[in-house]
Amino acid sequence: MTLGDQLALPDKASTGIVVVFYRPDAACVRRANRYADAGLCVVIDNTEQSQSADQLGLDKRIEYVANGANQGIATGINQGVEVLLNAGCTSALIFDQDSEPSDRLLQELPRLLDEERRQRGRVALIGPAYEDARLGGVAPFVRFGYLKLQRVAPVGTQPIEIDFLISSGSCINLAAWQEIGPMDDALFIDFVDLEWCIRARSRGYAVLGAPGLRLAHELGGEPVRVFGRQYPSHSPLRHYYLFRNAVALIKRSYIPWTWKSTELVKFPFRLAIYGLFLQPRLSHLRMALTGIWHGLTGRMGRLDRP
């Protein structure tokens, strides 16, 4: 029996919401409880110690799945989407536990997706520009280019065709999901959204940015300033996944060389930044190099350490 088979079909289901928890605090629960008024909301909890929805303080209308282990963001999203599919939803809004979507975004993204599907036909997903005040405000949309990403300003009112979106804040066409397939569980975390967008585009689906919508979203930990520029920082473990998955994707034939070339250019700079400017330096460097090795040798999934 699947997760979705266990749930009753809600009335007039159309857009559902998936939130993936990992060691959530009270603010994460509060944010999730907001979504209960917007439609069917599914919370997938990757926290190692299982808790009940009541213990967390979740709204009783939220469908809650406690994994009791960190299964990764890809698996968490896949589980949540499975629930929505079985409940008859046609689109899925995906949010990280720390995202702060406005009511307007919750209403407008599904409407824009439906509108673009009618006009274009094959649309995989649509999402807003994200805004991280720590990194200088609103980030541009991105298209791939040889050796350097092409940054597209989020201006105007019409959706813009781009190459990828971060998963948080995106609204996925669940009819397209059936053909494109689920997120890649083996990636676990980092580049999960990018790989899915590339796969969608390789099957002829559009990935769209909505320039008139914004999502408050913090990318990574506290930024580090290097030569006057702010870079998002992560833990040594996250840097392991970042380097491992980048190498793994570079090895895949359907990944475009425009993206591969950009990543290869970034590799030495990332190693220098993480190895010289983040503490503890040796830990960051060691985990990055381990990730590169595991990517080359095909070791994927969750890194289990003693």
Query: What is the tens place of the pLDDT at every residue in 141-159?
Result: 999 999 999 999 999 989 9
Helix, strand or coil, per DSSP, at residue 207: strand
Question: Would you list the domain boundaries of the chain?
Answer: 4-216, 221-297
Strands (E), the chain: 15-21, 41-45, 63-66, 91-96, 123-132, 137-138, 141-143, 150-152, 160-162, 171-173, 206-216, 221-226, 229-233
Q: Determine the pLDDT at residue 97.
A: 94
Third-level CATH fold of 4-216: Spore Coat Polysaccharide Biosynthesis Protein SpsA; Chain A (3.90.550)
Q: 104-108, 137-141, 199-203: which range is least confident on average?
A: 137-141
Q: Please identify which residue in the block is written with the tokens 């005040």.
A: 133
Task: Give me 226's structure tokens.
Answer: 């290097």
Predicted pLDDT at 138: 85
Confidence of residue 6 (pLDDT cuts 50, 70, 90): very low
Higher-confidence position of 226 and 16: 16
* pLDDT tens profile 59-86: 999 999 999 999 999 999 999 999 999 9
Percent of the chain whose pLDDT exceeds 70: 88
Judge whether residue 248 has pLDDT over 80: yes
pLDDT at 168: 94
Of 137-146, 179-188, 211-220, which one has max mean pLDDT? 179-188
Q: How far is the C-alpha of 82 from the C-alpha of 79, rounded, in Å?
A: 5
* pTM summary value: 0.90
